[in-house]
Chain A
Amino acid sequence: MDTKVTQLDKQETLATNGNDRPSVYKVNDLNLWYGDDHALKDINLDIKKNEVTAIIGPSGCGKSTFIKTLNRMVELVPSVRTNGEILYHDRNIFDKDYQVEELRTSVGMVFQQPNPFPKSIYDNIAYGPRVHGVTSKKVLDEIIERSLRGAAIWDEVKDRLNENAYGLSGGQQQRLCIARTLAIEPDVILMDEPTSALDPISTLKVEELVQELKTDYSIIIVTHNMQQAARVSDKTAFFLNGEVVEYDQTDRIFSNPSDKRTEDYISGRFG
């Protein structure tokens, strides 16, 4: 029977789209233990520049551990031990001479709960640049406006920059935290469930922001919300029990995943 396959090639092209982009991270055979607990197992991922990469998986699958490894925050846990390598722009972040401060200047992070400092909106944003030695009021003003605009919150706060950041709504606080990250002009933004504490409208705003930010930044986002991963990301990695089960174009993962475990998870059959 002469069955013609017409769309197959097109789909395969889709799956490899964006692979010509340079990598920001190349994770090679990464393993991580918390004491005896083997939390990440042989992780291999190639994360591309100016893309949104979503990390999904059930609780305890290692997704948060994974992104906290990308800026070496995970080392704050005393019993942690790793092997393998994470190349950030071709340099292994575990190298002895790699300065963690240098890494974290390039790799910003936004957390699940908005965590502004108990300071004014202005001082929240100015904090990072000041630490990095910026003292000029004019330069700081510019950074603050640019960062707040970048995080799509400028219009909402421009007339009350000296008010305490705690007076903002949860959604505004989260965008303020994103602005604070932008102020140090990072290369990568890690987001660990950035909208799980937000209402649907604020969530939508943050999601739109993610789309805008990827022009200038590479974004890695951990999310429990699979529809969010489907909406915002270019690629999706599905983690299960510390392993990467599948890593592919998001279009592919949500329309026709290769692995049955991915299908079962995204369809809500477990997790």
Chain B
Amino acid sequence: MAANRTMFGEQLKVLDEKVFLLAKKTMQQIATVAEALEKYDREIALRVIENDTELDELELEINDGAIILIAKQQPVATDLRHLVTAMKIATDLERIADYAGNIAKAILRVETYPYVVDITLLKETVETLLDMTETALVAYRDVNVEKAKELQELDNRVDEMTYKALRQYMRHMSLQPVVVDEVMQFTNICRYLERMGDHLTNVGEHLIYMEKGKHYDLN
């Protein structure tokens, strides 16, 4: 039994490493799409879209690994919650990466540069999202509930900034209806960034569930 459990512990570690890798790659995608947005660089935007497949595959790999461990090791209690959490976090990270892809597509639909709107708030939001991803990563690595709870405050900031930006862009559209199509892309980007924040708080919620066995709502 003890030997089996050692093996289980090692296999769980391998799975966790993949979750960390997915989180790092997701962070990279956010940073890269932010660069594409800032520079209006279509090539970089295209790269973000291409990279997404790799992240999708990594998510599937994590899910398959977790299912095999559940089937073969029949874990219970914390071990089981750990595996389910790994799967759920992988799903959230993959969704975040999808939103990075969506932002890249929105950038490709923009035709005018310099942009018709100010993107300062969007850049600040991206900074906070990168902070959130880093926080989630540390919370997962250290199984740190207090760290996970910090995500709530950071997500509130994302919500505030994206809401502010959205109001700005709406006003812009009403004043200059001719640029509606262009501005729409930026309102979409606002929404994608806001959703990224929600998924990152989900990661925090999953972590708390893993550690405490209780559901917390950080949103």
- Residues on A facing B (Cβ under 8 Å): 1, 3-8, 11, 226-227, 230, 254-257, 263, 266-271
Residues of A within 8 A of B75 (CB): 267
Most chain A beta carbons < 10 A, residue from B1, B78, B152: B78
Within 8 A of A (CB), among B160-219: 212-218
Within 8 Å by CB of A7, from B76, B77, B215, lies: B215
Question: What's the Cα separation between A255 and B209 when bound, in Å?
Answer: 11
Question: What's the Cα separation between A66 and B172 when bound, in Å?
Answer: 77
Interface residue SS majority, chain B: helix
Q: List 10 A-B contacts (CB under 8 A).
A: A1-B152, A3-B152, A3-B218, A5-B214, A5-B217, A255-B76, A256-B214, A267-B76, A267-B79, A268-B1
Residue of B nearest to A2 (CB): B152
Residue of B nearest to A271 (CB): B1
Within 8 A of A (CB), among B25-64: none
CB distance from B219 to the nearest CB of A (A): 9
CB distance from B155 to the nearest CB of A (A): 12
CB distance from B96 to the nearest CB of A (A): 22
Q: Is the CB of B213 within 8 A of A255?
A: yes
- Judge if B112 is at the interface, Cβ distance under 8 Å: no
- Residues on B facing A (Cβ under 8 Å): 1-2, 4-5, 74-81, 149, 152-153, 212-218
Question: What's the Cα separation between A144 and B81 when bound, in Å?
Answer: 47
Q: Is the CB of A230 within 8 A of B76?
A: yes
Within 8 Å by CB of B5, from A3, A5, A11, A267, lies: A267
With A230-B76, A271-B1 already in contact, the answer to whether A11 and B153 are too (CB < 8 A) is no
CB distance from A110 to the nearest CB of B (A): 25
Residue of A nearest to B145 (CB): A3
Q: Is the CB of A256 within 8 A of B213?
A: yes
The 4 closest A-B pairs by CB, nearest first: A256-B213, A7-B215, A4-B217, A254-B76
CB distance from B4 to the nearest CB of A (A): 7
Q: Is the CB of A263 within 8 A of B74?
A: no
Within 8 Å by CB of A263, from B5, B78, B152, B212, lies: B78
Most chain A beta carbons < 10 A, residue from B75, B77, B212: B77
Question: What's the Cα separation between A219 and B1 when bound, in Å?
Answer: 29
Residue of A nearest to B214 (CB): A8
Residues of A within 8 A of B153 (CB): 1
Q: Is the CB of A4 within 8 A of B216?
A: yes
Most chain B beta carbons < 10 A, residue from A1, A255, A267: A267
Q: Is the CB of B77 within 8 A of A263?
A: yes
